Amino acid sequence: MTLTDSDTARRSEDARPILLPASGDGQRRRRRHERQRVVRQRWMAAGAVVVAAAAALLLLRGTHTGTKQATAPPATAPAPAADSTPLAPPSVLVQQVNSGRTTSLAAFLPSADGAGGTVLVFPANTTLNAVEANLPRHKAETILTLEDGDLSRLLAAAGPVTVTVNGAPTAVAPEQIPSFFTASAPGDKLTRQRGFWDAWLARVRDNPTAAPTQPGLAAAVGIMVKGPWTVAVPPGTAGG
């Protein structure tokens, strides 16, 4: 078979190389890879959310249906022990004055036990500081400063009180009380005052209507006559 010139020309034309398009600079490939990476990250994040939600649901279901563990109550500090020592009731100081000068002093100290107590009789020249040093709270909650007439009226409800002085009984009417406290005889002043207050408390104990109406003194005396009492001069003072 003999090739003609036209066959040779056609063969030469068919044998020409096929030109491929230029491969470019790789940007398209990088963008494709970036999109694939973003898609993978989104799927991973979505999977993590699903797993977390499932775990929370299981935990919540276990909390409501599972067996509860016993929990110990919170520890509390022990309460401080209460002080059971009773407080002494308010004390009362009866101060008799005449023309601005103190002529007698008596402090009524009811017992903290609620029954009984002590009457302390002081010399007339005792200072208030010295008196308060002998009181349970080192002060008198009530101080009654009374002229002679006021003292008689304060104690008038008891009527005449029989006081034994040096073995001899003496009836003392309310209006005689101031002079009985300050007279020079019989006996010494503090002895007569101690005898009077002892007899007066006994009268109030036996006859409650004989109690004074002044609130502070009435409260103190009301406690004292419920139990034993003493009438004394403080140790270390004249006549004590």
Q: Tell whether 6 is covered by a domain.
A: no
Q: Tell whether 193 is covered by a domain.
A: yes
Token representation of residue 51: 């797993």
Q: Which residues pair with 119 in a beta bridge?
A: 108, 231
Side chain identity at 5, as an amino acid letter?
D
Domain of residue 213: give its range.
92-232
Q: Tell whether 26 is covered by a domain.
A: no
Least confident among 27-31, 51-55, 153-157, 165-169: 51-55
Q: Residue 35: what pLDDT?
A: 73
Q: Tell whether 41 is covered by a domain.
A: no
pLDDT surpassing 60 at residue 58: no
Domain count of the fold of the chain:
1
Q: Tell whether 84 is covered by a domain.
A: no
Number of DSSP helices (H) and strands (E) in the chain, helices first = 7, 7
Of 136, 84, 126, nearest to 104 by C-alpha is: 126
Q: Residue 15: what pLDDT?
A: 47
Per-residue pLDDT reduced to its tens digit, 1-26: 444 544 444 544 444 554 444 445 55
Read off the pLDDT band of 184 (50, 70, 90).
Answer: confident
Q: Tell whether 183 is covered by a domain.
A: yes
157 contacts 142 by C-beta, under 8 angstroms: no
What rounded mean pLDDT belongs to the chain? 80
Q: Residue 187: what pLDDT?
A: 83
Of 124, 88, 86, 90, nearest to 105 by C-alpha is: 124
Cα–Cα distance for residue pair 46/44, rounded to 1 Å: 5
Question: Exposure of 228 by Cβ count < 10 A (0-12 exposed, 13-18 middle, 19+ buried)?
Answer: exposed
Q: Residue 116: what pLDDT?
A: 96
In this structure, the strands spanning 168-172 and 161-165 are antiparallel
Q: Which residues pair with 101 in a beta bridge?
A: 98
Percent of the chain scored above 90 by pLDDT?
53
Per-residue pLDDT reduced to its tens digit, 104-152: 999 999 999 999 999 999 999 999 999 999 998 888 899 999 999 999 9
Q: Residue 163: what pLDDT?
A: 97
Question: Can you tell me whether residue 217 is helix, strand or coil?
Answer: helix
Side chain identity at 233, as an amino acid letter?
V
Domain containing residue 200: CATH number: 3.40.630.190
Q: Tell whether 64 is covered by a domain.
A: no
The contacts of residue 190 (CB under 8 Å, 6+ apart) are 121, 123, 233, 238, 239
